Structure 1
Amino acid sequence: MSLNINFDHSWSYYHQPIITNDDIANATVTDIMNICNWSPAELPHISRTKSETTFTNKSEKWWYRKHFQCILSDSQLEQSVSLTFKSSDNNYRNSLAISSVIWLDAVNIFSGVLQIPQTSIDLPKTLLYSSDMENRNYQHTLIVCSMDACLSFSASLILPHDAIISIKDIHDNATIRRTSDLSQKHDNIYNYVASFDDVNKHNTNTSDSKRVSLPTYDKQEFCDIVTEKIIDRENNQIADVNRTKVPLLTIVMLIVGSRGDIEPIIAYGKALRAVGHRVRLATHEKFRKFVRDNDLEYFPLAGDPDEIMSFMVNNSGIVPSISSILKGNLFRRRRLFFDILKSTWLACTNNDDETDASFQAEVIIANPISYGHIHCAQKLGIPLHMVFTMPYSPTIAFPHPLANIDYSTASNERINVFSYSSVETLMWLGIGDLINKFRRTILDLPSLNISQVRSMMVDEKVPYTYCWSPSLVPKPSDWPFYIDVSGYFFLNLGKNYKTPPDDLLAFLGLQTNLNNHIDETSLPIFIGFGSIIGHDSHRLLDIILKSLMQTGYRALLSGFDIDSNHLPKNILKIDDIPHDWLFQYGE
């Protein structure tokens, strides 16, 4: 897989009469570079003076200039970079050829015919990486001169798929002066477009998406990795780690689920933002204020989390029961699912719905049940990182959390591994047509079959981070290096929590000073089910009441939609209380 960087933006052009018998290969490029009256242009460039055709009947010579910057991280090797041109007509009905000369930093790197779509021009490493070796910050000027036609092609830079390199515009005075949308003079980073080499797997088209506007808050071009030591688990030692640098990125986090899914991701997003990344958390409207209050950008995803959780609980996962089908729940869920898919793409590309700040993702972080993640990443050609609180990666250690398991038919290990592919298959049978509809109609990508879907995450080695404690559930030995268990992500809401309700203070035996605890009351236990209660909450409550009566415990009950007046005095129903504050006063 290679990375295509869209190179169409922030060009300037200049045209001049062609002198008889002029040889553009012998043109004085240094004189052209210093001409003042350049005009802004975007590729493909169509002459306004000859709107009926891009060809100028050999009456003019067309010069194009682009300033750009290559920035490598400290540990990154020098990367090979190629310049390619393609026709804006994807069908290539006519083979296009233009006599052209190309210079990089006033050095001639190409003279001949640009034959579309075959021409690919290597940018010499000796020129790309010859300046500012100390900071690994390389600034360049590219000049293209065409004899018989204006440059009516799109341009791209081709990099290796694992390149860690930032390619940025440097706007010249003419472009800044004459282009109104650059009034704030923010740098622009180009969007990446993946092209998969194996056509039998994941084909994709290049994207003509808008440029990426960097965040408006102050930051440096790279952020230092703050962790300098890691635990060497094999040798039970702490090992030194060389400090490195990571390019600052525009990140979208696609999260579908309940508050238990959202809260740890907010903590993750705040950590990313703290080192300078721009972070947008896209989730359900219900959590808009929660996200904004934690200083993250927000974008709405479709769907009601309560409806989603209710369906999953009532159907023991993703496979609908007969009763759900008869009630019409399956059809409502399919409409809901397609709405969520569409909103994941909007979350990657649309402006902020409150501030109208422009946005285009350079990285996607998502939980598995947002579903649109890998398809949006493929369209944009950007990295994808999966994060979740439940295991979604095949292992012999334990089954998929949404699978109904019968261990009587085979060994535990075989059943556990099989459960992941069975859930994937059942999901595809239920909504695969909607995913392909999303790919075709929204993303302009080809459809997939079930074998491609089941293998694409593994084939692309998409990294997973599972945010539970390895002391609780260790990382299975058969998970590869790009899947890890990180520990919990805590938001630490308790630090600023100052207004507990009076009935809770009384139940906990706390005075006005929350640090003074009255020992005459027994410490309560906490019983909570988050957003997932199920359809038979009364039966579950009856079990809890009998258990508390037998054990003598007092309890705090969270997550039940029941009338507090019908609860005995040893139980207090509570609403949304930060756990890190609450648990210090519990058993």
Structure 2
Amino acid sequence: MRVNVIAAGSRGDVQPMVALGVGLQRAGHTVTICAGDDFEPLVTSHGVGFVPAGLRIDELIASELGVAWLGESSRSPWHELAAMRRLVESTVEGYAGAWVPLVGSADLWVSGFLTVHAVDAMVAVGGGRHVTTEFAPMRPTREGWAGLQPPLPRRSSVANRVAGQALLRTVASVIAVAGDEARVEMGLPRTGRRGVLDAVRRTPALLAASPTVVPPAPDWEGNPAVTGYWFLDDDPGFVPDARLVSWLGEERTAYVGFGSMSTREARPLGELVARAARAAGVRVVLHSGSAGLESHDHEWVQAVGAVPHGWLFPRVSGAVHHGGAGTTAAALRAGVPQAVVAHIGDQPFWGRRVWELGVGARPVRRHALSVEWLTEVLRGFARGEGAERARLVGNGIRREDGVGRAVELLTTCVA
């Protein structure tokens, strides 16, 4: 079976697709992933075919549009949506130019949620089956635990479903821009938000999350199917820096990092982390990430570049992060407490679920991050708060085979 995977977005959107691609190839299928040009090494190093999207995501993240969305949207959902729309509009020609030539080249198409509209049209023109993937629950539901922004998160209520429908319509109006550009290139009319919603309704979906963390909502009626997380094995050739190994070996250390979230405040943010580490008496591994975070306090903070979470997280007392789906999943699998500083999108949801599950501290939004909050979180890590619950959840997640379950469902889909 020929499988094309359309993976728009940052590493958190691409890496689980690579894990899925590896699983499909092990099952005997031929897989090609279309993603940002800078992800070619990640994809091809795992033996999966690659098609460049014609733009670099790292450059987009560092751009004015990227910083405005990722680093400056946490105060206002309306600012976030407007910034996201501007960013999407800046990429549509590049993405559509890469996607449209692939029409007719696969038996199965796997889209992300951001590309469900475009791939729906490509399948209508060139054939094949289509399954979309979600890395956070996007379907409306009565159940607070499974709603992205439910007004009653601890209850089952029609109000939660109504809120979910409103959120889906709002997001659809933003992601329709890319799908409509692809439709125009294929000679089809624009369909706007309605086309996105129609594509979502008729397309089977896989939710790449643990059912322990997101139990399937009854009113989803099996769509999406909750498979478990899609973890990509760490690079077997990874060799950690000797200074980092020494730093981690001396005493239990916490992790702080915000992944691909860019910012104009890298220096003050690094200083905030250092002040909290010193006040808490807890040393910190600070991931520089897309923001370029660093600290001059080398007694309490060790700045690092890219280090595989699968190697690092089991070696720390706890992880403070932005709440990306992949980072949250990695901390859950490692069985360590965590705390989320949510910037955009689904990150508040993951922060809330971490807290509700008892494996982490109450989350904050990026604009509300303070030395006081971070100091108390680090002290909680040192006291072992949430550690036993995190260990139990981690044991369960490590027993799941999300990729295997997804491959099984995808194979059934095209049988």
Report if aligned partners of 2:7, 2:112 keep a CA contact under 8 Å in 1. Answer: yes
Establish whether residue 271 from structure 1 lines up as the match of residue 23 from structure 2: yes
SS at match of 1:253: strand
Report if aligned partners of 1:497, 1:581 keep a CA contact under 8 Å in 2. Answer: no
Letter in 1 for 2:234: L
What's the offset of the Cα at 1:452? 4.6
541, 545, 556: which one aligns with 2:274: 545
Report if aligned partners of 1:318, 1:427 keep a CA contact under 8 Å in 2. Answer: no
Establish whether residue 321 from structure 1 lines up as the match of residue 89 from structure 2: no
Report if aligned partners of 1:319, 1:427 keep a CA contact under 8 Å in 2. Answer: no
Q: Partner of 2:261 in structure 1? A: 532
Q: Partner of 2:53 in structure 1? A: 301
SS at match of 1:478: helix
- C-alpha distance in structure 1 between counterparts of 2:4 and 2:75, whole Å: 27
Establish whether residue 339 from structure 1 lines up as the match of residue 94 from structure 2: yes
Establish whether residue 504 from structure 1 lines up as the match of residue 234 from structure 2: no
- C-alpha distance in structure 2 between counterparts of 1:337 and 1:507, whole Å: 44
C-alpha change, 1:418 and 1:381, in structure 2 (3 Å) is farther
CA deviation digits over 1:447-471, x for unaligned, max 9? Answer: 425445323322x2x2221222222
Letter in 1 for 2:110: I
Q: Partner of 1:15 in structure 2? A: none
157, 160, 165: which one aligns with 1:416: 160
- C-alpha distance in structure 2 between counterparts of 1:434 and 1:565, whole Å: 39
What's the offset of the Cα at 1:367? 1.0
- C-alpha distance in structure 2 between counterparts of 1:469 and 1:553, whole Å: 31
Report if aligned partners of 1:251, 1:279 keep a CA contact under 8 Å in 2. Answer: yes
Q: Partner of 1:364 in structure 2? A: 109
Q: Partner of 1:425 in structure 2? A: 169
- C-alpha distance in structure 2 between counterparts of 1:318 and 1:580, whole Å: 33
SS at match of 2:131: strand
- C-alpha distance in structure 2 between counterparts of 1:261 and 1:318, whole Å: 23
Establish whether residue 444 from structure 1 lines up as the match of residue 187 from structure 2: yes
Establish whether residue 476 from structure 1 lines up as the match of residue 217 from structure 2: yes
Q: Partner of 2:285 in structure 1? A: 556
SS at match of 1:385: strand
Q: Partner of 2:43 in structure 1? A: 291
What's the offset of the Cα at 1:437? 4.6
SS at match of 2:228: coil
C-alpha change, 1:450 and 1:284, in structure 2 (3 Å) is closer
What's the offset of the Cα at 1:302? 3.8
Establish whether residue 567 from structure 1 lines up as the match of residue 310 from structure 2: no
- C-alpha distance in structure 2 between counterparts of 1:333 and 1:394, whole Å: 23
- C-alpha distance in structure 2 between counterparts of 1:562 and 1:449, whole Å: 37
CA deviation digits over 1:85-132, x for unaligned, max 9? Answer: xxxxxxxxxxxxxxxxxxxxxxxxxxxxxxxxxxxxxxxxxxxxxxxx
C-alpha change, 1:344 and 1:423, in structure 2 (3 Å) is farther
Instruction: Name the structure with the higher strand share.
Output: 1
What's the offset of the Cα at 1:565? 5.5
C-alpha change, 1:274 and 1:298, in structure 2 (3 Å) is same
Matches within 5 A, 1:11-26: none
- C-alpha distance in structure 1 between counterparts of 2:12 and 2:174, whole Å: 26
What's the offset of the Cα at 1:531? 0.9
What's the offset of the Cα at 1:262? 1.6
Letter in 2 for 1:281: I
Report if aligned partners of 1:283, 1:299 keep a CA contact under 8 Å in 2. Answer: yes
C-alpha change, 1:336 and 1:397, in structure 2 (3 Å) is same
C-alpha change, 1:567 and 1:348, in structure 2 (3 Å) is farther
Greater radius of gyration (CA): 1
- C-alpha distance in structure 2 between counterparts of 1:379 and 1:257, whole Å: 24
C-alpha change, 1:367 and 1:545, in structure 2 (3 Å) is same
CA deviation digits over 1:269-322, x for unaligned, max 9? Answer: 111001110000110001101111110000012443242564542345997639
Report if aligned partners of 1:255, 1:281 keep a CA contact under 8 Å in 2. Answer: yes
C-alpha change, 1:280 and 1:322, in structure 2 (3 Å) is closer
CA deviation digits over 1:498-533, x for unaligned, max 9? Answer: 421222122123xxxxxxxxxxx2121222222125
- C-alpha distance in structure 1 between counterparts of 2:298 and 2:255, whole Å: 15
Q: Partner of 1:453 in structure 2? A: 196
Letter in 1 for 2:196: V
Aligned length in residues? 307
- C-alpha distance in structure 2 between counterparts of 1:566 and 1:585, whole Å: 23
CA deviation digits over 1:20-76, x for unaligned, max 9? Answer: xxxxxxxxxxxxxxxxxxxxxxxxxxxxxxxxxxxxxxxxxxxxxxxxxxxxxxxxx
Letter in 1 for 2:101: L
CA deviation digits over 1:383-434, x for unaligned, max 9? Answer: 1111232222222234765x6x777xxx984453334433443345456466
- C-alpha distance in structure 1 between counterparts of 2:222 and 2:293, whole Å: 49
User: Could you tell me the TM-score, scaled by structure 2's length?
Assistant: 0.64
CA deviation digits over 1:205-259, x for unaligned, max 9? Answer: xxxxxxxxxxxxxxxxxxxxxxxxxxxxxxxxxxxxxxxxxxxx10011111221
User: Could you tell me the TM-score, scaled by structure 1's length?
Assistant: 0.47
Q: Partner of 1:260 in structure 2? A: 12
Letter in 1 for 2:123: A
Establish whether residue 282 from structure 1 lines up as the match of residue 37 from structure 2: no
- C-alpha distance in structure 2 between counterparts of 1:254 and 1:431, whole Å: 14
State the percentage of identical aligned residues.
Answer: 19
C-alpha change, 1:434 and 1:523, in structure 2 (3 Å) is closer
Letter in 1 for 2:17: I
Report if aligned partners of 1:288, 1:300 keep a CA contact under 8 Å in 2. Answer: yes
125, 144, 151: which one aligns with 1:379: 125
Report if aligned partners of 2:103, 2:123 keep a CA contact under 8 Å in 1. Answer: no
- C-alpha distance in structure 1 between counterparts of 2:123 and 2:76, whole Å: 24
Establish whether residue 523 from structure 1 lines up as the match of residue 252 from structure 2: yes
Deviates more, 1:577-586 or 1:483-492: 577-586
- C-alpha distance in structure 2 between counterparts of 1:413 and 1:559, whole Å: 41
SS at match of 1:321: helix
Instruction: Name the structure with the higher helix share.
Output: 2
SS at match of 2:220: coil
Matches within 5 A, 1:69-148: none
C-alpha change, 1:429 and 1:294, in structure 2 (3 Å) is closer
Letter in 1 for 2:28: G
C-alpha change, 1:343 and 1:317, in structure 2 (3 Å) is farther
SS at match of 1:267: helix
Q: CA RMSD in A?
A: 3.3
Stretches of structure 2 lacking an aligned partner (at least 5 in a row)? 318-415
